[in-house]
A = this chain, B = another copy of it.
């Protein structure tokens, strides 16, 4: 079977792809999919992604941990946010977390409507994710969450890292896969330096999440692959390929 990889550079382009039989990897490395990976790896029972604070606060008082952030700031009265440092074992083990993430939620919902399976990718679980994708007899779409439907570099670099690992096991790569991989090869020796050098817009600097960025660019500190089941992200059992 001829297995293919494609990279969808922003959620705005997802309708161009046939994903009914594919595994879709949702990528929003700063910070949603990194925090989700780390939280599931640290024993969170589930993570529910929502698009905005209003949706997040609907879960208040029902036993959930709420990561209620607006414009990068934790909402007053809450003490848990989107930083991966909130997702330690002590804080999340056995808990279900509701996470506010605009770009990530949009990408997840778009993929969930049509794909065979939706999993979460981040530098933190790169190898375990790639081994899983190699083991499945499925095409793969790497879906970059981007920034308000725009292309962004950090998600594209992660897509490129996956393409690099999978290129011997798949035999079709589209133009955006080729571009993502070549950009990753340029950046891989110092991802953080590349992102900051490149971000002339100072978009990352403005977010004031320097420690989070450094954390999210670590390779392979997690073994978990979160998978979407209904509205909940839960741990995948790679041996079964399903839950």
A residues engaging B (CB < 8 A)?
9-10, 12-13, 16, 147-153, 156, 171-179, 182-183, 186, 198-201, 203
- Quote the shortest CB–CB distance from A76 to chain B (angstroms): 32
Bound Cα distance A182, B185 (Å): 11
When the two chains form the complex, which single residue of B13, B147, B174, B182 contacts A201, counting CB atoms closer than 8 Å?
B174
- Quote the shortest CB–CB distance from A208 to chain B (angstroms): 19
In the complex, chain B residues whose CB is within 8 Å of the CB of A149: 13, 16
In the complex, chain B residues whose CB is within 8 Å of the CB of A148: 16
Shortest Cβ distance from A13 into B: residue = B12
Copies in the complex: 2
Most B CB contacts (10 A, CB to CB) among A152, A172, A186, A200 go to: A200
Is there an interface contact between A150 and B179, defined as CB atoms closer than 8 Å? no
Is there an interface contact between B198 and A150, defined as CB atoms closer than 8 Å? no
- Quote the shortest CB–CB distance from A108 to chain B (angstroms): 20
Is there an interface contact between B173 and A200, defined as CB atoms closer than 8 Å? yes
When the two chains form the complex, which single residue of B10, B147, B175, B198 contacts A178, counting CB atoms closer than 8 Å?
B198
When the two chains form the complex, which single residue of B10, B16, B186 contacts A182, counting CB atoms closer than 8 Å?
B186
Bound Cα distance A199, B151 (Å): 21
- Quote the shortest CB–CB distance from A147 to chain B (angstroms): 8
Is there an interface contact between B173 and A151, defined as CB atoms closer than 8 Å? no
Shortest Cβ distance from A198 into B: residue = B178
In the complex, chain B residues whose CB is within 8 Å of the CB of A175: 147, 150-153, 198-199, 201, 203
